[in-house]
Amino acid sequence: MIQQRWCAALLTLVACGGGGSSAPVAPANSAVGVVEGFMQAVADSNLTRMAQLWGASGGPAARTRQPADYERRIAIMQAYLRNESHRLLPSTSPGSDARQDVQVEIRRELCTWVVPFTAIKTGDGWLVNQVDLAQAGNPARPCAPRGAGDSAPRDTSVGE
């Protein structure tokens, strides 16, 4: 029953395309700034803005329309990253001028998850490039104690 509701909600998100306008978004001037903007778009269920802040070296997915299934990926990221609260954690790795790792702590139900993001610098500013959704827990299942494992390991990172 819960899984059916979750699937229905996900399909609604995909069908609606999120909120927001299609006007260009000012580029983020830092890795932390783009991740914070991305998480705000998640909170607002603004899939359009998420697509403007996520992409690869060629630019945001909203402009390049790449990968071909970017809209589905954005909807999945929104479902996994929805939360009651989030905060960015201090960086433990210096990264480079063109690539930075940012850790985001999200709280959903009684669980706290630390989700790694990778941001890249493009000619227009910073973009979220990868998100390790495996670290965000399964939003359709109740919170499992740490170490209990959700399912078999699989690659659920979303990136280029």
- pLDDT per position as a tens digit, 26-83: 668 999 999 999 999 999 999 999 999 999 999 999 999 999 999 999 999 999 999 9
Look up the domain containing 90 and give its range: 2-18+26-134
Contact 109, 139 (CB under 8 A): no
71 within some domain: yes
Going by C-beta distance under 8 Å and a sequence separation of 6 or more, which residues neighbour residue 76?
10, 133, 158
Confidence (pTM): 0.76
Q: Which residue has the higher pLDDT, 108 or 23?
A: 108
88 within some domain: yes
Q: Which residue has the higher pLDDT, 10 or 108?
A: 108
Q: Is 152's pLDDT higher than 80?
A: no
3-state secondary structure of 125: strand
41 within some domain: yes
61 within some domain: yes
Q: What is the CA radius of gyration of the chain?
A: 15
- Cα atoms in the Cβ-side hemisphere of radius 13 Å centred on 73: 23
CA distance 93 to 125: 20
Task: Name the domain count of the chain.
Answer: 1
- 98-151: pLDDT as tens digits: 999 999 999 988 899 999 999 999 998 999 999 999 999 999 887 765 554 444
CATH code for the domain in which residue 8 is found: 3.10.450.50
Pair of tokens at residue 122 = 């493009």
The pLDDT of residue 150 is: 42
The pLDDT of residue 51 is: 98
Backbone φ and ψ for 111, nearest 5 degrees, come out as -105, 150
Going by C-beta distance under 8 Å and a sequence separation of 6 or more, which residues neighbour residue 152?
none
The pLDDT of residue 160 is: 59
Backbone φ and ψ for 136, nearest 5 degrees, come out as -95, 0
Average pLDDT, the chain: 81
72 within some domain: yes
